[in-house]
Chains A and B, each alone.
Chain A
Amino acid sequence: MKETVLHDKHLALNAKMIEYAGFHMPVSYAGIGEEHLAVRTGMGIFDVSHMGEFLVEGKVALSFVNRLVTNMITEDVTKVTYSLMCDEKGFVVDDLLVYVINAQKILLVVNAGNIDKDFAWVELQSKAFDVAVRNLSDEFGQVAIQGPLVKEHIHEIMGETGQDLGFMTYKVIPYGSGHVIFSRTGYTGEDGFEVYGKPEFIRDIWDKAIAIGVIPCGLGARDTLRFEANLPLYGHEISDTINPVEAGLNFAVKLEKDFIGRDALVAYKEHPTRKVVGIELLERNIPRHGYPVLKDDRVIGVVTTGYLLPTLTTPVACALIDIAYSEIGTELFVQIRNNKVPAKVRNRKFYTKKYNK
């Protein structure tokens, strides 16, 4: 099992550890509920060093990346763009963040569980372009510092206020004897920052954050927070059998440009058959990933993620279902063990995001 650059710090904090995407990662420290609330009301820090980083370099790097990903990537070197990479059928290879360092140098940040698959895909697609792609995943550490109080305290950790950064923008700043990428991004629905850099800088940032009282948060809270904020997770709301239109990610799919999978998505949009919807249970229970969704006695879909969230009393889920039943208010059932639990379709806005616009 691989270890991140912060592994010893998780053990020292007595975290509950699990294997995730080949890494030995903390799932929680004090408890998922406590960590979730810390990020919603205060400050939390996550070790996300397991994420993958690829660097695309070459004169046509920008054209190549625009062919590779679904969202529009411009020369704007302050912008962070959420996007997807699709295969020719329009199914999702991965979702990712794109950082344009300059028009010839672009950083792609991908999911830990997909690093090998993604790198093979990006390399294969790059053959038609005069670009070089390097997998730098092992050279970067990364932390996410998230929560409404982060903006008041981030300078104590980073020596920077970040007040010039709006949501989904970044800059490279000096840190220690070098530099780090300082990015106003996150995966929680709260304001906050993500920092990428050499292992020794990331270890130092982690220590400073813990020292001023930022709560360490594990993968458990990372998932409840991202779900509550309606942010998709690969393998759940998107996958190699679910396309971004079905997942409701049209904002990140620019059909007016040419990209891999575009034609398939244009065709799919003409005749959509499935949709990821929000669901709430009408009885107390917990709808989990993989549970069948039924209309009367017929299976019409599957739960992609579901929780009894620390902040809500109603159990809620996202489910990929037959689009014929996707209207808000439609009554359905979720099969939970031996029970058919009544549910209804609702919106996916379980929480109002609090980004720094």
Chain B
Amino acid sequence: MNVKEGLLYSESHEWVKVEGKNAWIGISDHAQHALGSVVFIELPKIGALFKKGDAMGAVESVKAASDVYTPVSGKILDVNKALEGSPEMLNDDPYGAWIVKLELSNEAELKTLLNAKDYQPLCEE
């Protein structure tokens, strides 16, 4: 399973890419592989506020629905609308297919996330 360097990861298999006060969030290669072909995504509303650990949306394969949790608290600035028409992008390019862009409300939370090296072992279960 591919774990991309330079991103932060949650134990629930989301990735976070930080630029200043903003973060892009997606699901890891391990997560998309475990899920199988994604056929539907439910995105949050722009402007919605979430706390770290909240379910902010869902990704679904034919067989199962999985909540997507936000690994950091903040306000949704943008959502990747293209995924609604082409949810398979989450399988094809999990680190390119960002789900939301969020304004961080508590940058200290970033310290609770894992770097690529520490996340790797969680993908080997």
A285 and B40 in contact (CB under 8 A), knowing A32-B61, A337-B58? yes
A16 and B58 in contact (CB under 8 A), knowing A285-B42, A288-B65, A337-B42? no
Does any Cβ of B come within 8 Å of A27's Cβ?
A: yes
Does any Cβ of B come within 8 Å of A284's Cβ?
A: yes
Does any Cβ of B come within 8 Å of A329's Cβ?
A: no
The interface residues of chain B, by DSSP majority, are classed as strand
The answer to whether B62 touches A308, judged by C-beta atoms less than 8 angstroms apart, is: yes
Min C-beta distance of B70 to chain A, whole Å: 15
The answer to whether A16 touches B36, judged by C-beta atoms less than 8 angstroms apart, is: yes
Query: Which of chain B's residues have a CB closer than 8 A to the CB of A284?
Result: 40, 84
Contact with A along B8-32 (1 / 0, CB 8 A): 0000000000000000000000000
- Segment 54-70 of B: residues with Cβ below 8 Å from A: 55, 58, 60-63, 65, 67
Does any Cβ of A come within 8 Å of B104's Cβ?
A: no
Does any Cβ of A come within 8 Å of B105's Cβ?
A: no
Sample 28 A-B pairs with CB under 8 A, ordered by A number.
A16-B36, A27-B63, A28-B36, A28-B63, A31-B36, A31-B37, A32-B36, A32-B37, A32-B61, A32-B62, A32-B63, A33-B37, A33-B39, A33-B62, A220-B63, A223-B63, A284-B84, A285-B40, A286-B60, A286-B65, A288-B65, A307-B62, A308-B39, A308-B60, A308-B62, A309-B62, A310-B62, A337-B42
Does any Cβ of B come within 8 Å of A224's Cβ?
A: yes
Query: Which of chain A's residues have a CB closer than 8 A to the CB of B60?
Result: 286, 308
Could you tell me the distance between the alpha carbons of A224 and B37 in the complex, rounded to whole angstroms? 14
Could you tell me the distance between the alpha carbons of A285 and B84 in the complex, rounded to whole angstroms? 10
A220 and B62 in contact (CB under 8 A), knowing A31-B36, A285-B42, A308-B39? yes
Min C-beta distance of B72 to chain A, whole Å: 21
In the complex formed, the residue of B with least CB distance to A34 is: B37
In the complex formed, the residue of B with least CB distance to A288 is: B65
The interface residues of chain A, by DSSP majority, are classed as mixed
In the complex formed, the residue of B with least CB distance to A28 is: B36
The size class of the interface chain B forms with chain A is: 10 to 19
The size class of the interface chain A forms with chain B is: 20 to 34
In the complex formed, the residue of A with least CB distance to B58 is: A337
Query: Which of chain B's residues have a CB closer than 8 A to the CB of A32?
Result: 36-37, 61-63
Query: Which of chain B's residues have a CB closer than 8 A to the CB of A223?
Result: 63
Query: Which of chain B's residues have a CB closer than 8 A to the CB of A16?
Result: 36
Min C-beta distance of A159 to chain B, whole Å: 36
Could you tell me the distance between the alpha carbons of A337 and B61 in the complex, rounded to whole angstroms? 16
The answer to whether B42 touches A224, judged by C-beta atoms less than 8 angstroms apart, is: no
Could you tell me the distance between the alpha carbons of A339 and B37 in the complex, rounded to whole angstroms? 23
- Segment 258-302 of A: residues with Cβ below 8 Å from B: 284-286, 288
Query: Which of chain A's residues have a CB closer than 8 A to the CB of B62?
Result: 32-33, 36, 220, 224, 307-310
Could you tell me the distance between the alpha carbons of A186 and B84 in the complex, rounded to whole angstroms? 35
Could you tell me the distance between the alpha carbons of A33 and B37 in the complex, rounded to whole angstroms? 8
**Extra contacts besides A32-B61, A33-B37 (12): CB < 8 Å:** A31-B36, A32-B36, A32-B62, A220-B62, A220-B63, A286-B60, A286-B65, A308-B40, A308-B60, A309-B62, A310-B62, A337-B42
Min C-beta distance of A49 to chain B, whole Å: 21
Could you tell me the distance between the alpha carbons of A36 and B36 in the complex, rounded to whole angstroms? 14
Could you tell me the distance between the alpha carbons of A347 and B63 in the complex, rounded to whole angstroms? 23
Query: Which of chain A's residues have a CB closer than 8 A to the CB of B40?
Result: 284-286, 308
Could you tell me the distance between the alpha carbons of A285 and B40 in the complex, rounded to whole angstroms? 7
Query: Which of chain A's residues have a CB closer than 8 A to the CB of B36?
Result: 16, 28, 31-32
Min C-beta distance of B24 to chain A, whole Å: 23
Contact with B along A19-31 (1 / 0, CB 8 A): 0000000011001
In the complex formed, the residue of A with least CB distance to B85 is: A284
- Segment 73-102 of B: residues with Cβ below 8 Å from A: 84
Contact with B along A222-237 (1 / 0, CB 8 A): 0110000000000000
